[in-house]
Structure 1
Amino acid sequence: MVLCSTDPRLRFLWIASRRSVLWGEAPVQLSPAWRLMLMGDGSPTRHLQLLTGRRVEVELIGMEPETLPSPQRPHEVAELHGPLVRRQVWLRCGEETLMWAESWWNQQDAQDHLRDLRQPIWASLCQDRVELFREVDGLGQVDSAALEQRFSASSPLWCRHYRFFKGGRVLTVIREVFSPALEAYLGSSSTTS
């Protein structure tokens, strides 16, 4: 299924080491609220709903087979068995776009778990009471003209990626880029010294 193929062309400004992310050691002075949002293993869509008091709506950009792997995709995607599909979405609360996300899936797993493509991944997985483990693998900052335009904000933009495990194997790899508009709910992302 292809709705509208797009690639926001992320340019990574810096990336934290995997070790620092796994140990919860932010390489920058993140505020406690942003540390939880970016490095915590909870559901970001649930967090957005709790922060804004509004339902999270998914605007599907596209979902299509990934035939040529992007050099920018997280290296953990190699742990998935092909054929692969890549899904891209905007996450909104009301009129405000608060996140862009992309995920990579084995095609059969996507068919089994993503029956409604306009629903957040977490909501889809919770319907079936799927037991999952989430491991945050990457944290950094990016710039992207396409994301800046949609967020109506300038870079740098916070970015993270993680894996969902089901039964000890990787189910999906997800990358998220957060809108600076979240500072209205979480405060500044950096601590003041």
Structure 2
Amino acid sequence: MTLRLFAALPLPEDLARRLKTLQKGVPGARWRPVENFHLTLRFFGEMDERRAEDLDGELAHLTAKRFDLALKGTGWFGKTQPHALWLGAQGGDRLTALQEKTERAARKAGLDPETRKFAPHVTLAYLQGTPLEKLIAYQKRLADFETDRFPVTHFSLYASWPRRGDANIYECLADYPLI
């Protein structure tokens, strides 16, 4: 059996519910369900169970310090042809260090290096045919949006399972505490 895996920071439930209230006013948006809100540290892709066990072992040996995180600002991926709407994340050097350690763990488990630059964010929606002016208006409307800082005490390994409709099902397979 193959698994489609990623490492991420789950969001507190009360914060996820608050983010749900921001999901309006953007035509062509396929809003993410509350249970899918997370901050991806590293997408690993599809792998067999043996490689997944190797990856789990590497992630379990990773040591990183706890930190606080805040969400602030909005943006989108896909400059002139937007495909994802997001909230930015601010976690400082400790967030960056954790992401780099998950990358090293992936390489030790035999995975190819990530080629994309890490851009910490929480995806609010996937977009299709959304006019740029609507995204600019949304961004202006949320210009002052910022969450309180919240503690990050662990990260998780998730499996992504396809589902009919807009959103995959994400299953938490393991949690890894931070020190």
RCO higher in structure (CA 8 A, sep ≥6): 2
Q: If you compute each CA radius of gyration, which structure gives the higher value, 1 or 2?
A: 2
State the TM-score, normalizing by the size of structure 1. Answer: 0.25
